[in-house]
Structure 1
Amino acid sequence: MGNLTIAIDGPAGSGKSTISKKISKELNIVYIDTGAMYRALTLKILKNKTNIYDKAEMNKILQNTNIDFKNNHIFLDGKKVDEEIRNNEISTNVSDVAKIKEVRKKLVEIQRSIASNKSVIMDGRDIGSFVLPHANYKFYITASIEERGSRRCKELKEKGYNANLEEIIKEIEERDRIDSTREVSPLVKCKDAFEIDTTDKTIDDVVSEILGIIRGDN
């Protein structure tokens, strides 16, 4: 049997990353958090005060940035940045960075390269439709915007940040709009993807459902 590839897509706050991490452990395969890759690049851009509309500046950043995963941690230029990339400033800016054609081209190259020689589960906005169109399994994970906002708010408060639910819901609505209307690889549900609404389900419920489909139980 060849390598196993699983594509998980869905909007912000739907639970993709948490679900994907658990499945990667259950199946003992590599987890690639593509959203974290875009967040890591956004972190570097904000720190360097790079003008994202200046192509020369952006190309320089892209040529001199290394993003890698080791033991389910993300490294930016050799430094672990798991916590830094989750703050609200990154969340607010990441969609604008992710819609840049050159950014997507560079990061998709890295993503496909990782998936070409090992079994992976990868989550993002355009995995099944664009990054891994021939994935063995595709899933579209979603939830109501109120539920997604509530999860994000809880996550931020647990990390010690001030969080306003109404503001977070507005930010998620705007991210949804940008992600689903961008010119390059917009967020879409593939025709051959299994759709799972997580609004009234626990993470473990969803993990069991996905594993059942992969193992042929369902």
Structure 2
Amino acid sequence: MGAIPIIAIDGPSASGKGSVAARVAAALGWHYLDSGALYRLTALAATQHGVALGDEANVAAIAASLDVAFLEGMILLEGEDATELIRTEAVGEGASKVAVLPSVRRALLQRQRDFARAPGLVADGRDMGSVIFPEAQLKIFLTASAGERANRRYKQLIAKGEEATISRILLDIEQRDARDRARAVAPLRQIADARLLDTTEMSIEKAVQIVLDGWREISAN
């Protein structure tokens, strides 16, 4: 796997890392891993099967046997389209809760590593560079202020026709940040060899260009 080019983009909730990672992958013609989707799918499947999100053993069993398929622009869970459902705030909150469970993280470890295939992979999440792909040639820690992230999430929800309030979204983001940073296994942090990319006052296009420039710089050496 070491010979396969990998760009790992980590960062907190609603920082825009998914949008940036997907566009970088498209620009390079590489595969893309949205690791957060696997945790969202695990939380959704657990809820649908009546398993409490704090029930580590049973949630881990669901994660290990997750029946998912990533198709062109669509994510199937047990044969049903879950593309939009996993993007709801409720499922995102659930994903944050199951992601702190060590057994769940172990269950999803190899599944994530299997995404590394030629010609290359762009992976985004919380621990892509620190745990899943420590051999990644380029590691990015992409972040933005909590206020800006709340504003972006608010605009996304309103655009979908969902009810939302900035204050509630900000509180949710701050709580998720606290959980992600405090968890015992693979906490959210900027590792020493990751490049910091603060997008608080930056467009997605600019962030994508910075990542691509970083990759070209590494490739040229």
Shared fold (TM-score, shorter chain, > 0.5) = yes
**Alpha carbons 2:64, 2:108 under 8 Å: kept:** no
Q: Tell me which stretches of 4 or more aligned residues in structure 1 moved more than 6 Å.
A: none
> Which one-letter code corresponds to 1:125 in the other structure?
R
Aligned residues: 218
Output one character per residue of 1:173-206: Cα deviation in whole Å (capped at 9) or x when no partner.
0000000000110001011111110011100000
- 1:10 aligned partner, one-letter code: G
CA distance in 2, matches of 1:60, 1:14: 30
Query: Structure 1 residues 64-73 or 116-125, which shifts more?
Result: 64-73
* TM-fit CA distance, 1:2: 3.7
- Could you list the runs of 5+ residues in structure 1 that have no partner in the other structure? none
Question: Relative to structure 1, is the Cα distance of residues 56 and 193 closer, same or farther in structure 2, using a 3 angstrom cutoff?
Answer: closer
CA distance in 2, matches of 1:9, 1:108: 16
In structure 2, relative to structure 1, the CA distance for the partners of 1:56 and 1:134 (3 Å cut) is closer
SS in structure 1 at match of 2:114: helix
Between the aligned residues of both structures, percent identity stands at 35
Contact (CA 8 Å) 2:56, 2:104: kept in 1 or not?
no
Segment of structure 1 superposing worse, 7-16 or 98-107:
98-107
Q: Greater CA deviation, 15-24 or 117-126?
A: 117-126
> CA-to-partner distance for each residue in 1:49-71, whole Å, 9 max, x for gaps?
20233345334423432233233
Match of 1:45 in 2: 46
- The alpha-carbon distance between structure 1 residues 118 and 52, as it changes in their structure 2 partners (threshold 3 A), is farther
Letter in 2 for 1:52: L
Unaligned runs of 5+ in 2: none
Corresponding position of 1:146:
147
Mapped partners of 1:44, 1:198: distance in 2: 33
| Counterpart for residue 17 of structure 1 | 18
Residue-by-residue CA offset, 1:62-99 (whole Å, 9 max, x unaligned): 34322332335333233332100011111222111111
Normalised TM-score (structure 1): 0.93
Structure 1 residue aligned with 2:116: 115
* TM-score, normalised relative to structure 2: 0.92
How far apart are 1:117 and its partner, in Å?
5.7
Give the conservation status (yes or no) of the 8 Å contact 2:7–2:123. yes
The aligned residue for residue 199 of structure 1 is 200
- 1:131 paired with 2:139, answer no
SS at match of 2:59: helix
- Residue deviations 1:149-183 (CA, integer Å, cap 9, x gap): 00001101111110000010000000000000001
Distance 2:119 2:104 in 1: 24
